[in-house]
Chains A and B, each alone.
Chain A
Amino acid sequence: MMLLKLDNPMIVLFATLVLSLLFYYIFPVKYRYIVLLIASLSFYLLMNSYLIAFIVFTIITVYFGARWIQKNNDKAQADKDNKEYRNKIAKYNKAIITSVVVINLLIIGALKYFGFLGSIVNGVLGWFSTELNWPIIALALPMGISYYTLQAIGYMVDVHRKRIQADKNFVRVALFLCFFPALQEGPICRYEQTANMLYNGARFDYRMFTFGAQRILWGLFKKAVIADRLGMLVSTISSNPYEYSGYASLLFIIFYTIQLYADFSGFIDISLGSAQMFGFNLPENFRQPFFATSAQDFWKRWHITLGVWLKEYVFYSVALSPKVVKFCGKIKKRWKNYFTKMLPTILALLAVWMCNGLWHGPEWKYIFYGLYYFVLISVSMLCEPYVKKLYEKWNIDSNNKWLIAMRHVRTILIIFIGETMFGANTLEDSWHILISVFTPYHGNVFELGIDYKEMIIAILSMAVLVVVDVLNEKKGDVRVSIAEKAVPIRWTIYIALLLSVLVFGAYGAGLYANSPFIYGGF
């Protein structure tokens, strides 16, 4: 019955941010980590109450697991000439890392994938017409579990690979895993990127602070003005896709892709901007993804930290695993050609894209989404030498501007198809939406969830997004160019941005429904 709820996640996030910034800068630098840890745990408690137990469990298992591995490594190092002992320790450490990783994966698996497994089991049981049934229970998902579990696994693997030393400081590990601005939707950070920085604290830096605030504002613009407005049309069509076709389906495809980008990158702006206000630079998660020239390039620009994580901890683990190396070696011996040479890469890519799909959620559409990119990227890799040869044969410059433009268009189409698969409720729906584009639709464009007034704001705000992304791509950080402008100009820009968020933001009860961040659900 309330207009504004204190349990609104955005309000809790901003209230935590403002209060913690205040205390952060009041405290001496060396104690600032205490403020961050208390703020992060309080934020978790306010948002998720008792589910905080899961992240605490992960922190404890990962801290002690890594310490154990480190102690073993130290012992082996002290007795480094004893090969047998070293092998024993290696086996021992493998058992430790496997147990910690498996326990944490089992938790996320049980909470996130229980229902999905159940539906598969029930489907199979259905073939035999048995009375047996796997109970489908909707379990509460702890906030950020998909993000902090990856960070925790990354940390364990890095210690196991001796890339870093296990941290003796429990608080530093805890803060690394639960730093509140990055808790809900990432970015997914590596231990060496953030742990020391967060623990050591930062001195007040005017530029970092103001740039952080500006980035938050830009994130809010993307979320409230663009994503939530486009979401009104998207939800109209996705809830009844079979009633629409032609330009209505096309609008869904375009608007959903932009909505997802504005929503997710908007939250990342809020997250990175908040961290900047504390004086930290977290890793970037987006780099103008729609400027990509290939599917592979797209994933170097979209959800970058997930891509990096999968490459580091799945791709290499699979490609370099003794079993895969042995298996591929045998095949290579038998058939020696380019394809068998690429086999370990392809197998590792398959694992990466399966994980990518499954990470998004326990649904077939996400699995197909992952496989879609697997096929595109693998085919493109396998064909690369042949395409090069063709270019040489026909004397075509591969940097020809028409070719580059064509690659841009092709990639945009690839992205649209992928995001339609991602955004429609089911795979069948996405197939219908894509095919139905070619069947004319005669309905009124302003009756698809956003009227002409909302459409005007949607188009103008998307134009602003395009301009900013073009400037970011071509000339570097827009904030730097704005900061160089005269005071009246830059203040006008800041105030105009704030006003546009507050006036045109699709927030508040009644006219607009408050929408949660899409990637918060993963």
Chain B
Amino acid sequence: MKNINISDKWKKVVSAVVFLVITYVVLYVVGFVMTPKNPLDRASYRTTDIRGITVEEANTLDVVNIGHSGVMYGIIPMEMYEKYGIASYNLAETSQSPREAYDILNEVLKTQSPKVVVLNVDQFFYDKAENRLRFAFQWTLGRAFPIFGAHANWRRVLKGEESCRSINKNYNFSDDIKPCDGNKRMDKTDDVYKMRKSSVKNLEKIVRLCDEKGIKLVLVEIPSTIYWSYSRHNAIEKFVKEHNDIPFIDMNLIDVGVDWSVDTKDAGDHMNFSGATKVSDYLGQYLVDNYSVGNHRGEEKYAAWENDLKAFRDKYGYPNGGKNE
């Protein structure tokens, strides 16, 4: 009787293990098959608008803005187009990793030849302190179960995912206001944040890629109070000094006109429409002052952009219901 019980118990253990192994293999295979090979397609699960860049006419973009959600909420390509005639697109996605930033730029350069790449640097510091646990968890989970990242691909399987022209150029609109007191970690210091090797490596790969293609790289940090600090600023300063003084605009140190009582949607993590407009105005001015970009308003080649601009303003208007000067 006892033997029967033991064998019954083992039968259950073995069957549970076999079931779990089969389940895992099925999940892994399905996840792997569903994971697109094109980085733009991968990004589009998190940021549907990003694929809109594929329907832009080849070699029409002056600038691409790369980064995580800070860029999606912080830079308004249509504002820069309206004011300075700059044709740009946000190659940004939620939680973009340094490696994804490189992959996506590499992919886009197959059809576009931007003169300038604007790269937000916040994401090169994901790896440390407060984010370590999250990222370890996220990466392990993402690697072991690709289905989590690729699950929305059933939409494409069901019947192709057509790329639509994006009037936002992958800018994420938000007019929420959740004020904060600004960045408390911007007191001057000589401390230099130690960047992780893999982040530096990926940043260097982007620098090299831009060099090879003759593209000017501009590093920026969009105003943000949650993670950014002076020691991180120093880390980027150190990096640019070691790499031919790549321009670096830290908008947490330069006054771009951001008022933290009205310009952030979530207490300093992201800009809202009003904050993003100020950031875009500053960035646009900087780009036309320093590079031969912009002034495409009225050009026949950019007729579609004029329509996009009209649709964009019809949809979102201007911050605080005002008019653009």
Contact = CB atoms under 8 A, between A and B. Distances in A.
Interface of A: 1-6, 206, 453, 456-457, 487, 491, 494-495, 498-499, 502-505, 507-512
Given A502-B148, A508-B152, A512-B152, A491 B94 contact: no
Classify chain B: how many residues form its interface, as a range.
35 or more
Contacts of A456: 158
Contacts of A491: 19, 22
A388 B255 CA distance: 80
B134 A1 contact: no
A81 B58 CA distance: 99
Contacts of A494: 19, 23
Interface string B19-40: 1001100110010001000000
Interface in B1-47: 12, 15, 19, 22-23, 26-27, 30, 34, 44-47
A5 B94 CA distance: 12
B155 A453 contact: yes
A510 to B, nearest CB: 4
B154 interface: yes
Contacts of B22: 491, 495
B133 A510 contact: no
13 contacts: A1-B95, A2-B138, A6-B133, A453-B159, A457-B154, A498-B27, A499-B27, A502-B145, A503-B30, A504-B154, A510-B48, A510-B94, A512-B152
Given A4-B134, A4-B141, A511-B48, A503 B155 contact: no
Contacts of B227: 1
Nearest to B131: A2
Contact of B47 (A2, A499, A504, A510): A510
B152 A509 contact: no
Task: Say whether chain B's binding surface is mostly helix, strand, loop, or mixed.
Answer: helix
Contacts of B286: none
Interface string B93-134: 111000000000000000000000000001100000001011
B94 A509 contact: yes
Contacts of B12: 206
B243 interface: no
B70 interface: yes
Residue of A1, A453, A495, A504 with most chain B CB atoms under a 10 A cut-off: A1
Residue of B23, B46, B152 with most chain A CB atoms under a 10 A cut-off: B152
Residue of A4, A494, A510, A511 with most chain B CB atoms under a 10 A cut-off: A510
B316 interface: no
A503 B151 contact: yes
B144 to A, nearest CB: 13
Contacts of A457: 154
Given A491-B19, A509-B46, A511-B45, A3 B137 contact: no
Nearest to B270: A1
A6 B137 contact: yes
Interface in B76-100: 93-95
A36 to B, nearest CB: 23
Contacts of B70: 1
Contact of B138 (A3, A505, A507, A511): A3
Contacts of A503: 30, 34, 147, 151, 154
A3 B95 contact: yes
A415 to B, nearest CB: 32
Contacts of A498: 23, 27
Contacts of A509: 46, 94-95
B174 to A, nearest CB: 13
Contacts of B45: 508, 510-511
B225 interface: no
B69 interface: yes
A495 to B, nearest CB: 5
Contacts of B155: 453, 511
A3 B46 contact: yes
A102 B234 CA distance: 58
Contacts of B46: 3, 508-511
Given A206-B12, A508-B46, A508-B151, A502 B27 contact: yes
Contacts of B19: 491, 494
B50 to A, nearest CB: 9
B266 to A, nearest CB: 10
Nearest to B153: A503
Interface string B225-265: 01100000000000000000000000000000000000000
Given A6-B134, A453-B159, A498-B27, 20 more contacts: A2-B138, A3-B94, A3-B95, A453-B158, A495-B23, A498-B23, A499-B30, A502-B145, A503-B34, A503-B147, A503-B154, A504-B151, A508-B149, A508-B151, A509-B94, A510-B45, A510-B46, A510-B48, A511-B46, A512-B152
B306 interface: no
A499 B93 CA distance: 26
A5 B134 contact: yes
Contacts of B47: 510
A6 B44 CA distance: 23
B282 to A, nearest CB: 21
A458 to B, nearest CB: 13
A1 B30 contact: no
Nearest to B23: A495
Contact of B269 (A1, A4, A495): A1
B119 to A, nearest CB: 15
A2 B127 CA distance: 12
B278 interface: no
